């Protein structure tokens, strides 16, 4: 008996925020899936509704992947309108245009939609109570996208780290080369999640959608973070320890990183003490195992050292 290979339509994928941590990795991960259009703020200002609509009507994508966001958490406290335009209004506009096209929207959200008071891991069903303007704007964006189109995947993540862009691990490496002592907050918990993991999981979801979209594709809201948990102080110690093992010249040792409470390091925007997200819904729905956060951070560190 002969078999017939059914060729699926080549996808047109629109990616926003191409120069961000996640956007950079998404360009790699999505390249084999179809024709890609990657844009950044210079190409399309997400704070301007007309610009967003014009781009989508021109490209007419099958899939829209939106990692772009206003991410200056502390500055958002004094620039709420700017944060709201990009994080809250734009996802709704993208959803409206996607709904007309029958396109899938994959949008990334944040652990900051929670207030951190829960003792355990947050599930998708837990009540959101953001503590700061950034978290409020991201939650509003979730709701706007959900209202605009049913064909969405919202992926909440936390503590993103990548070889491209600015992040906590890079900051710690820089400070470790300059200082012989460091104080880091130890009462905020979460899971550092590599941009590469988010990108690879996104590519898997798009493949699933492409082959299942005429059936019962499980659209909705999911938590997607690396496995395990840590606090910022232990995270910093891990980064420094890995650097020393790799022979990097540092002034700082892990023991010289001292734990402090967040009250000793006041910032403009309050942060949740607990950012731990339960990923069982994502893992069970899509049949994917999520690696420990240390694996992703090690991969990022190796990429950084390979460039030196």
The tokens of 6 are what? Answer: 């059914």
- pLDDT value, residue 6: 42
**pLDDT digit string, tens, across residues 202-258:** 999 999 998 886 568 999 999 999 999 999 999 999 999 999 999 988 999 999 999
Q: What is the mean pLDDT of residues 271-280?
A: 96
- Which residues carry out catalysis? 134
- pLDDT value, residue 214: 57
- pLDDT value, residue 308: 57
CATH for the 11-167+191-227+275-292 domain, from 3.40.50.720, 1.10.238.10, 3.40.50.12160, 2.30.30.30: 3.40.50.720
- pLDDT value, residue 266: 86
> Of residues 7 and 132, which shows the higher confidence score?
132
**pLDDT digit string, tens, across residues 6-29:** 445 689 999 999 999 999 999 999
- Predicted TM-score of the model (pTM): 0.93
Does the pLDDT of residue 147 top 50, yes or no? yes
Domain boundaries, the chain: 11-167+191-227+275-292
Reference 193, options 226, 224, 163; nearest CA is 226
**pLDDT digit string, tens, across residues 73-130:** 999 999 999 999 999 999 999 999 999 999 999 999 999 999 999 999 999 999 999 9
What residues have CB less than 8 Å from 214, skipping those under 6 apart?
none
- The overall average pLDDT reported for the chain is 93
């Amino acid at each position: 008996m002969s078999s017939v290979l059914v060729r699926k339509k080549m996808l047109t994928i629109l990616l926003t925020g191409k120069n961000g941590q996640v956007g950079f990795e998404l360009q790699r991960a999505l390249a084999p899936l179809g024709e890609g259009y990657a844009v950044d703020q210079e190409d399309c200002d997400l704070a301007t509704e007309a610009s967003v609509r014009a781009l989508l009507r021109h490209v007419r994508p099958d899939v829209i992947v939106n990692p772009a966001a206003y991410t200056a958490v502390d500055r958002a406290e004094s620039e709420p309108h700017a944060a709201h335009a990009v994080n809250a209004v734009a996802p709704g506009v993208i959803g409206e245009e996607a709904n007309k096209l029958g396109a899938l929207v994959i949008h990334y959200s944040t652990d900051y939609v929670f207030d951190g008071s829960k003792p355990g891991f947050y599930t998708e069903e837990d009540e959101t109570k953001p503590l700061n303007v950034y978290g409020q704007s991201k939650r509003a964006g979730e709701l706007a996208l959900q209202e605009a189109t049913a064909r969405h995947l919202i992926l909440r993540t936390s503590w993103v780290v990548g070889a491209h862009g600015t992040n906590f691990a890079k900051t710690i490496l820089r400070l470790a080369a300059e200082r012989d002592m460091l104080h880091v907050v130890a009462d905020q918990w979460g899971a550092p999640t590599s941009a590469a993991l988010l990108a690879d999981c996104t590519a898997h979801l798009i493949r699933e959608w492409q082959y299942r979209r005429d059936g019962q594709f499980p659209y909705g809201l999911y938590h997607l973070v690396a496995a395990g948990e840590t606090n910022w102080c232990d995270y910093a110690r891990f980064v420094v320890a890995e650097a020393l093992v790799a022979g990097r010249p540092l002034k700082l040792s892990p023991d010289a990183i001292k734990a402090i409470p967040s009250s000793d390091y006041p910032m403009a925007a309050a942060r949740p003490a607990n950012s731990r997200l339960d990923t069982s819904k994502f893992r069970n729905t899509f049949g994917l195992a999520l690696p420990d956060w240390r694996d992703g951070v090690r991969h990022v560190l190796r990429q950084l050292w390979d460039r030196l």
